[in-house]
Amino acid sequence: MSFMRIIAAVAALLLWCAPSLHAQEVPAPTATAGTIPGLTELASLPVEVDVAEGSLRLVNLYRVQARILLDEAGQPEERVVARLVEEVFTPYPEFWAGYLGDEAAFRRWAPALLDPDHPIHDRLPVLLALDLDRQFEDAVEWMESTTGRRPAGRWYILFGPGWTNMGGLGDGRMLADFSNMPPDSAQIAGLLPHELTHQVHKVAEVDDPDGGTVLYRILAEGLACYAAWVHAAGQRTPAWAVSFNERQWDWALEHEEALWEAAQSILASRDRADTDLVSHRGRQLIPGSPGAAGYFLGFRMVQAYVATHGPDSWHEILEMPVAQVLARSGYTGR
């Protein structure tokens, strides 16, 4: 399989992705001497941590990666890769199958981590110094106290091939790949409510006759962006929530009716090309449109729903069939 085909296959597995624009807006923190824990301290950090009384499990693979890279500094590549296979791949083959591939694929990719230019070397000390477990606890607590729903599933946190920053692999499995995102505390705090919304909303998709359609995707992303915007409590704009800059947001508002009209003919589609048309940052729904215009349309749909049904009514959307949400929102793109 060619590299591009591997990327395409992985992209097809990623059911949703976090907005990625913020990654360019926040400069990557640099490592400061003395922040990296010693091997003894690292060894005592648990790899798997339960959050929210066990409904969410964090699999902190970056801690294993850190331990190996520190432990094996200066050792031959073959030896380091063997340990990575044994301790990072072998205990979690089903996760790797959903993201990177089988053991052979892992062995081909793993030496990339040893490249001195790989971001792992600058970002690991910063990530290890963050209290990431606490950030997850806080985000889950916010989600539960705000919506009454508790996210469930597993999060794999690691330095991987960097094909997404945060995203879902299905079956409640999520990942955060710090090869593709700086370990910035404020950025993580901003992104988690978006992803946790997907985790609580995903449950509704199973019973929704429109599950998996373009309309579902538009609403799911819009709802996740809306939740992130509510969480930001006035500190962020709607444009930030959908990963647009202000100019793109203004353009989308000016062309909202045309955007919504362009989406009409594909709302019921489950074709990958059609969902990409509304959710991929590199695709334009109409000429001149910012990428991922579906995030904007979904956000506007939720705004319309809330304008009619009250500020907290977005919580009920989490369990409502999307066709009903659209009808009750009265959204027409105008």
Binding site for Zn ion (CB under 5 A): 16, 221, 224
Residues 6+ apart with CB under 8 A from 74: none
User: How far apart are alpha carbons 240 and 236 in whole angstroms?
Assistant: 6
Measured from the CB atom, the residue of 16 and 89 that comes closer to Zn ion is 16
Q: In what order do the strands lie in the sheet with 166-170?
A: 16-17, 166-170, 173-177, 153-158, 56-60, 48-51
CB of 96 within 8 A of CB of 109?
no
Measured from the CB atom, the residue of 16 and 260 that comes closer to Zn ion is 16
Measured from the CB atom, the residue of 17 and 326 that comes closer to Zn ion is 17
- In the complex, the smallest distance separating the C-beta of residue 33 from Zn ion, rounded to whole angstroms, is 37
- In the complex, the smallest distance separating the C-beta of residue 47 from Zn ion, rounded to whole angstroms, is 27
CB of 16 within 8 A of CB of 113?
no
3-state secondary structure of 311: coil
Measured from the CB atom, the residue of 157 and 219 that comes closer to Zn ion is 219
Measured from the CB atom, the residue of 64 and 166 that comes closer to Zn ion is 166
Measured from the CB atom, the residue of 16 and 95 that comes closer to Zn ion is 16
CB of 176 within 8 A of CB of 126?
no
Q: Is 61 exposed, middle or buried (0-12, 13-18, 19+ CB in 10 A)?
A: buried
- In the complex, the smallest distance separating the C-beta of residue 207 from Zn ion, rounded to whole angstroms, is 20
- In the complex, the smallest distance separating the C-beta of residue 276 from Zn ion, rounded to whole angstroms, is 14
CB of 177 within 8 A of CB of 165?
yes
Instruction: Please provide the DSSP assignment of 184-219 as one string.
Output: -HHHHHHHHHHHHHHHHHHHHHHH-TTTTSHHHHHH
- In the complex, the smallest distance separating the C-beta of residue 113 from Zn ion, rounded to whole angstroms, is 27
- In the complex, the smallest distance separating the C-beta of residue 125 from Zn ion, rounded to whole angstroms, is 29
